[in-house]
Amino acid sequence: MEAQKAYQYKFTVVTPVYKVEEYLEETIESVLNQTIGFEENIQMILVNDGSPDRSEEICLKYQKQYPDNIIYLKKENGGVSSARNESFPHIQGKYVNFLDSDDKWAADAFEIIYPFFEKNQNKTDVVGARKRFFEGRNDYHHLDYKFETTKVVYLQTQYDYVQLDVTSSFVKAEVLKRHRFCTELKYGEDSAFINEVLLEKCTLGLVCEALHYYRKRKNETSALQNELKSDSYYVNSPKYYHKALIEKSLEQYKTVPEFIQYAVMYDLGWRIRKDIRSYVTDDRAESYKKHIQEILQYIEERVIMNQRIMYKDAMIYALSLKYDRDIRKEIIYDMGKLLFHNIELLNLSQTSNIIILTSMEVKDQTVCLEGRVNTWLPEEDYEIYTEVKGKRSPLSCFDLKEFDKMGLDGVCHKGRGFRLEIPVGKKEWDLTFSIWYRNIYRKKVRFAFDSTIPLNDEETSYYYQNFCLIRKDKKRLICKHMGRRERLEYEKAYQSTLARTGRKNLIPFRKWYMLLKELKKKEIWLAADNLSQCQESPVPAVQYLSEKRKAGTRMYFVSEKSCPAVKEAGKYGKVLAYGSFRHKILFLLSDKIIVSGKHKDDMDVFGEQGTYMKDLYQFETVFLE
């Protein structure tokens, strides 16, 4: 109870401010609107880090409105770490959150966090909330798997439940006396800080009901490129983040706890996949690579292989960096498993994505397939074979540069693509793939579909085009010449699957499509952009159709509400209500879909359920830049 009386507020929120006039008010308002009660329970410290825009004006406006709760500090520009450190002498809350100036909190977050922290304050010094992206993305952070339940995690046993940022964390004010943000760091400063705090008790509170919103800006590409050109990225981060955490661990425990290994490896997992020689000199790149290899000596093999976010090829590359040699040459085969130092790298009998089909089309009574080989195995160690109509043939591959796997020295695993053209014929046939590994293992393998393939994982899924029906059965791709009436039996089975799996709402669209497809006589062009959300003038799709329209073509536009663009579009075609039944039917019947590049991710009017309708998508897509 004595400790409780020492704090004027339940929470202090520290927000560094620099060039954020566009977002700052939204951030501050998310704190003011906390249901726990701002004036009674929350202190906010706004630290102006020499911002040249209107940020100071915004800070002063709120400080004047809440003089007892909001402290405004101003300093010369020194970076986010120095700005946060500036706030420490002024903190009067029991629990502290370092909120970035373009992020925000759900309204009830603090009200949820407080009783949990009070109940568990003797167990942990840090509590984390769920982290959801907004603006540029609309999903949860990669580490969201931690939040299946609200609990206190013991990091010595659950070492993959790491915390890597402070903006979605709450820290006890009392522990801040022993810690400061490292001002030498521009990248990873919050992860270095929070993990240094976590080292004290090796526990972490997780509250799945509290939600933090992390703004993922749409224009981050240039910032990333600037980061890769910065000396701080190559020198300071390895020294003051990775090495500092390792040295602190050794000082406290004489070993590096696995959760620290995991946190450092999480960051390295992103770093080792960048071809840094495109950004810095060879000498700088070589020095940086040696730093990475030194750090990897403190990370155990199983911690590398248990990374949840890293792809397997990156794990193999990390092991090769650790030992400064290509460890793939030392793999041992044992009953279908590929082992390195007795760690399973791959189970050939269970893998399902060595072969990925990326394109499927039937034209001129020929099934045309494209795909890629998705494996980190050395090319000389394996061979892929196809078998069609009882005839086995080696798969002929070509370089597919867009799928090259990059490392610190450039390409570490080459992308490999293939094309197959198989006559349909009158009899049913199937296609299978098999892998032959070092001439000691031969077995058919499952294959996977890219999202563009018009099949899904449902057992009754099929694709019908030009009197050819294609479906998948475990390790086989089955093809059969088929008339429309026989096709309806497969459609009936698929609709039954949709009804059984909770997608009954899609069935009417499929039934109407089957009927109207037979009656359709004219081409249909559909501009997929929602006119009411288009800011350009003229609207690109309207301009395209006004220039490219041809006689006999039926043209349609879509809009949620009336707007100037609707009137203009009406000169060239009909305007449908966006998302309406008619919109969805005409989407399926279209011969051409026109969409601007910025809206291409929203093109599919069926949204996530489009996965179960895409076998009907037989339109040409025109992307307008």
Domain ranges of the chain: 2-218, 226-325, 355-502, 519-624
Look at the block and give the residue holding tokens 């029991």.
94
State both tokens at 610.
Answer: 């489009």
Mean of pLDDT values over 174-196: 95
State both tokens at 177.
Answer: 């006396």
Q: Is the peptide bond before 538 cis (omega within 30 degrees of 0)?
A: yes
Task: Break the chain down into helix, strand, coil percent, rounded to 5.
Answer: 40, 30, 30
| pTM score of the predicted model | 0.88
Mean of pLDDT values over 250-273: 97
Tell me the longest C-alpha to C-alpha distance in the chain: 86
Q: Is the pLDDT of residue 130 over 50?
A: yes
> Which whole-number Å values give the CA distances from 136 to 18, 164, 169, in the listed order?
20, 21, 22
Model confidence at 1, pLDDT cuts 50, 70, 90, reads very low
State both tokens at 199.
Answer: 């080292």
What DSSP assignment string belongs to 538-602?
S-HHHHHHHHH--TT-EEEEEESS--HHHHHHTTTSEEEETT-HHHHHHHHH-SEEEEEGGGGGG
Fold classified for 2-218: Spore Coat Polysaccharide Biosynthesis Protein SpsA; Chain A (3.90.550)
Q: What is the pLDDT of residue 567?
A: 83
Mean of pLDDT values over 139-151: 94
Q: What is the pLDDT of residue 224?
A: 53
Q: What is the pLDDT of residue 122?
A: 95
Model confidence at 550, pLDDT cuts 50, 70, 90, reads confident
Q: What is the pLDDT of residue 126?
A: 98
* Residues 578-591 pLDDT 10s: 999 999 999 999 99
Distance CA 132, CA 506 (A): 29
What DSSP assignment string belongs to 129-193?
EEEEEEES--SB-GGGGGGGS-EEEETTTSTT-----STTEEEEGGGGGG----TT-SSSHHHHH
Element (H, E) at 406: strand 405-407
What's 79's DSSP letter?
-
Q: What is the pLDDT of residue 222?
A: 45
| Range with lowest mean pLDDT among 2-11, 57-66, 451-460, 466-475 | 2-11
Q: Is the pLDDT of residue 3 over 50?
A: no
| Range with lowest mean pLDDT among 155-169, 205-219, 408-422 | 205-219
Model confidence at 91, pLDDT cuts 50, 70, 90, reads very high
Decide: 84 and 48 in contact? Cβ < 8 Å: no
In three-state secondary structure terms, 55 is helix
Decide: 187 and 223 in contact? Cβ < 8 Å: no
Distance CA 242, CA 514 (A): 60
Q: What is the pLDDT of residue 538?
A: 66
Whose CA is closest to 543, among 523, 553, 529, 561?
529
Q: What is the pLDDT of residue 49?
A: 94
What's 353's DSSP letter?
-
Helical pair 258-271 and 189-201, crossing angle rounded to 10 deg = 170
Distance CA 181, CA 199 (A): 15
The CATH class for the domain spanning 519-624 reads alpha beta
Distance CA 30, CA 48 (A): 19
State both tokens at 496.
Answer: 């039954």
Q: What is the pLDDT of residue 536?
A: 65
* Residues 294-310 pLDDT 10s: 999 999 999 999 999 99
Percent of the chain with pLDDT over 70: 96
Q: Is the pLDDT of residue 4 over 70?
A: no
Alpha-carbon dihedral sign for residues 298, 302, 306, 310: positive
Q: What is the pLDDT of residue 530?
A: 84
State both tokens at 526.
Answer: 């559909």
* CA 597 from centroid of its chain's CA atoms: 20
Q: What is the pLDDT of residue 609?
A: 95
Tell me the H-state helices in 467-539: 484-500, 507-519
Alpha-carbon dihedral sign for residues 373, 374, 378, 383: negative
Look at the block and give the residue holding tokens 């004006």.
57
Distance CA 97, CA 453 (A): 45
Q: Is the pLDDT of residue 602 over 80?
A: no
- Write down the mean pLDDT value for the chain: 92
Mean of pLDDT values over 241-248: 97
* Residues 298-357 pLDDT 10s: 999 999 999 999 999 999 999 999 999 999 999 999 999 999 999 999 999 888 899 999
Q: What is the pLDDT of residue 529?
A: 84
Distance CA 619, CA 523 (A): 10
In three-state secondary structure terms, 504 is helix
SS3 string, 530-541, reads EHHHCCCCCCHH
Buried b (16+ CB within 10 A) or exposed e, 185-212: bbbbbbbbbbbbbbbebbbbbbbbebbb
Decide: 71 and 93 in contact? Cβ < 8 Å: no
Model confidence at 229, pLDDT cuts 50, 70, 90, reads confident
Q: What is the pLDDT of residue 533?
A: 74
Instruction: Show Cβ contacts of residue 403 under 8 Å, excluding neighbours closer than 6 positions.
Output: 372, 374, 415, 416, 417
